[in-house]
Structure 1
Amino acid sequence: MAIEENGFLEYLQLQDGEPDLVTKSELIARVRAEGYSVSDRQLTFYVTEGLLPRSVRVGSRAGAYPSIVVELVTWILRFRDGGLPIEALKELLPVWKFLIRARSSRELDLGELEYVARQHVTSVEGSLGVARVVIDVMTCYCPKHRKDIVIVAKDGTKMPMGDPKSTVGFAVARMPETEDADPGPRWFATTRVSLASTDPGSLDPTTVILGLKPNDPLPQAREDPEPEPEQGDQVKEPTV
């Protein structure tokens, strides 16, 4: 099996020791099962933009992707729905990869997160999106060992992510855009969030529920998924 230098191996290594692959049809089906519309043409577009790795061939079968790409595509579509431009997504992709590794290692080092973000994220849209990426990766997919994840503050203090009292602050600075303004950076936006679960959100008086009309039914509580046998097209584990 020939593997081009397209990031395939990097994404394979993000899978926490699980080398399983998905075919393109499985990828599209799983993303649609998450409630997002995606087509073969869209996948090609995101590959061209450098947001997705190219698929590889396994024998005579159709191209395959590391299964983590299912989560990656879902993340891209979720943030595109939120209005984030492609260029900001490109800036945030290294942050997403860092957070996937942090989730697998059960340790989120805020000093390292800050370094990666400041190294790659330069736009205001991207900077404002960093907190969203952290929340998305560390909570939306509900990893089975979520309660075991530890947040490491920049002073070395360790906090359990599952404790609502453990919070992470985000502060965005920017340089002035006009020559008349005082020189030097200034604070643009700040916030502080908890990464602890709020499930069941419908019964939590401190949780603001958005995205539905006032009288719409609320979704059921989402539980940690149990691993299930793959269905549909089957692909062999890669030899790398």
Structure 2
Amino acid sequence: MTDLAVIACLAFDHRASAEELQRFKACIVQCPQVVRTMEVCGPFDLIVEGRCADMVEFNAGLDRLRTTLARLVSRIETSFVANVIERSSPRDETQALWIPCRGGRRRVPLARIDRIVAEGDYMRVHVGDWSGLLHQTLGHLAGQMLGAGFVQLHRSCLVRIAFIERLVHDGRRWTARLADGTAIPVAKSHTHDVLRIMGGESSNGGAGSAMAAPIGETPAAITENDLTLLQ
């Protein structure tokens, strides 16, 4: 039975070759105990969510990876999920907006909307390659959509969480890169909510670190056997 959920945040050693890191990440993704991985920018480079039966299995898998981690990773921090708190998010097709279009109004389920951007007194609703203008305030739409899989990036923009591909930090501010190639800055007032919803928060400076991997002297070749994560 698998009942231990683990979140591992990894910062890669700048001396490791791009080819080795790519092979490492590819093998991590294929591990059966790995639920998902996220490439991020900021204090860490990769966040891995995994599951195993218990601490014995986790520690055994970690011991097998320790040499490889020492060569490629400068810092790793782990957390064990105690409880998952999720917003109540209606997923049924009854949640929709009626958007004016030629000849009438078009019914668009919230799950199909990519983003909404304020344009004066109107909101431009983007649905794939199509967009329409809706005479509403962003505050009114936010009250309906923030509990249904959307996040507010700044005072003029709502985005469907699943439409965000990456969160990038340039040392001063966060930027959300969307699936259509658009880059939208995240306002400081909304940064906390964005990172919390996207699962991108991590501790700073190693405080409270569960473990720290040593930095290897010289990156060396890795093998498939080195990368059997948590099994």
TM-score bracket for this pair, using the shorter chain length: under 0.3
Compute the TM-score of the two structures, normalised by the length of structure 1. 0.21
Q: If each structure's helix is expressed as a fraction of its own residues, which one has the higher value?
A: 1
Q: Which has the higher contact order (CA 8 A, sep 6+)?
A: 2
Instruction: Report which of the two structures shows the higher radius of gyration computed on alpha carbons.
Output: 2
Q: Determine which structure has the larger strand proportion and give its number.
A: 2
